[in-house]
Each structure stands twice: as C-alpha cells, then as structure tokens.
C-alpha cells in the first residue's frame, strides 16, 4: 500500500484530510461515550455541554480576558528566555571552553521541573505577573540554551575552514558562518520550546492566580464543571496549534533556502 511505505511523503491535501479525520473520530468517540451514557457526565461533559459552557465563559464571564492574560504571560516569559538563551547557546556551541564551563550546570538545571520552583518564586516575587513570567523563563531557558549549543556545535567544519581560508576572524566566523548556518534550526528549536512554555504557564496559574486560563480551570474543578475545564484545555490546544502553524510559516518565509 503506497501510503504506508516507510518515509513516503504525504501531499498537503491528504495530510489535511487525515489530520481533520482524527479530530472528527475523536469527537465522535467522545460523544458516543458521554451521550450514550457509558461515562458519567459528572466526570466528563459531553461535547454539546462543553460548547454551551464555553459560550457562557466567553459571553458572560470574561474568558477572553483570561485568554489574553495567559497569552501575554507565555509570550513574555518565552521572549525573555529566548533573549538570554539563544546568545548563550551560540557561545557554548562556538567556543568549547565556554561549553565546558556551562554545560554541566545547564544539563543539570534543565532536568529541574519548573513547577518545583513555584513555591520559592511565590516567596521571592509574590503572586503577581513576575512570578508567572519567571516560571516560564526557568522552564524554557535551559532547554533553549542546550539545544542551540548542540545545533551550533554540529556546524559543518568545512564551512568554518573555508571562512578562515578567506580571511575571516574568529568573531566573523561566528557572525557570518555559525549563526546564518544554524538560524533555521534555532528558529525550529524556539518553535518547539514555545509549546513547552504553555505547560509551564498553566502550572503557574494554578497557584495564587486571579486570572488566566489555568485560574479558570482550577475554579471549574471546584465546581465539578468539567465542560468548562475541557473548553479551557481545548482553547489552549487551539492557540498552540495556531501559533505552531504561524511559527512554521514564518520560518518558511525567512529561510526558504533551507525550509522549503
């Protein structure tokens, strides 16, 4: 069967159909289980109830404001992490002494769950926006540093030697060879880590927050409003999906020579 050959590419049309088909099948199974009475609606709302609850959240309870707050927190913490981590990762990948100095600590720190820092960050920064941004920053920065360092460190050696042969300085090699050669992969790393940042912000909003999607979810749990909980989770997924597609489109536009 041609479609099931290993590594056989799939066209854009069939890919879209297959992707949408899974969501349709998922919702159908969900509806069958809940509307058919196989799962109690107390523990899992049916799709219709979820839509109704979501509409009420949007029209009567200001959920659009919660969405905006959460998006701001994700972007704020992620941009701060990227501004720090990308240059540091480039330095680690380009200069082996810097890598030897920082890599053990970065490798250690990236295994520390960002959620474990929440109690400390509340003590240090309170329960305001700074605490939320720091959770996302801690969860993202070490991942980006190490992934960028690995990408830069694997740059083709012949490109570097050719630059030196043409008279490039050490800084010139970094600026005109290492960074351009790895820019598409660095952009892809940022796209992947942005998805992880969403998990960190929801954890941060579970504790000591008066706004945001995570705050709504934790309040809905106390009310056993599973329809609202599911709607909040779906909104997170949809925002993530849109941002992912936007990131891919931006990468293709910026690096057409590499990401065709």
pLDDT at 164 over 60: yes
pLDDT tier at 3 (50, 70, 90 boundaries)?
low
% of the chain with per-residue pLDDT over 90: 34
pLDDT tier at 124 (50, 70, 90 boundaries)?
confident
Within 10 A of 207 (CB to CB), how many other CB atoms are there? 17
pLDDT tier at 153 (50, 70, 90 boundaries)?
confident
Give pTM, 2 decimals.
0.84
Cβ atoms 228, 66 nearer than 8 A: no
Amino acid 260: pLDDT: 44
pLDDT, average across residues 77-100: 93
At 116, list the tokens.
């474990």
pLDDT, average across residues 227-235: 92
pLDDT, average across residues 150-156: 88
Domain annotation for the chain: domains and CATH numbers: 45-254 (1.10.3720.10)
Rounded to a whole number of angstroms, the CA Rg of the chain reads: 22
Q: How many CA atoms lie within 13 A of 58 on its CB side?
A: 9
d(CA 26, CA 246): 25
- Between the CA of residue 80 and those of 87, 143, 182, 197, what are the distances in Å? 12, 13, 21, 12
Cβ atoms 78, 192 nearer than 8 A: no
Q: How big is the chain, counted in residues?
A: 260
Amino acid 205: pLDDT: 83
Amino acid 258: pLDDT: 63
d(CA 77, CA 70): 11
């Amino acid at each position: 069967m041609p479609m099931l050959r290993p590594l056989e590419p799939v066209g854009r049309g069939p890919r879209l159909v297959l992707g949408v088909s899974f969501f349709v099948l998922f919702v159908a199974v969900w509806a069958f289980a809940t509307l058919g009475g196989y799962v109690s609606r107390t523990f899992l709302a049916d799709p219709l109830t979820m839509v109704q609850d979501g509409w009420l959240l949007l029209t009567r309870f200001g959920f659009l404001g919660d969405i905006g707050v959460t998006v701001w927190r994700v972007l704020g913490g992620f941009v701060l992490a990227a501004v720090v981590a990308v240059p540091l990762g480039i330095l680690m990948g380009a200069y082996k002494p810097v890598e030897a100095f920082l890599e053990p600590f970065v490798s250690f720190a990236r295994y520390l769950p960002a959620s474990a820092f929440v109690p400390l960050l509340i003590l240090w920064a309170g329960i305001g926006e700074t605490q939320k941004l720091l959770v996302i920053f801690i969860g993202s920065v070490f991942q980006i540093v190490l992934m960028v360092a690995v990408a830069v460190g694997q740059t083709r050696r012949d490109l570097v030697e050719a630059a030196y042969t043409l008279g490039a300085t050490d800084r010139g090699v970094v600026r005109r060879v290492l960074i351009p050669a790895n820019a598409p992969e660095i952009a892809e790393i940022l796209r992947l880590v942005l998805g992880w940042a969403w998990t960190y912000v929801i954890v941060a909003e579970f504790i000591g927050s008066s706004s945001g999607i995570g705050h709504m979810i934790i309040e809905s749990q106390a009310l056993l409003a599973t329809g609202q909980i599911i709607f909040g989770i779906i909104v997170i997924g949809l925002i993530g999906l849109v941002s992912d597609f936007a990131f891919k489109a931006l990468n293709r536009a910026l690096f057409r020579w590499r990401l065709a």
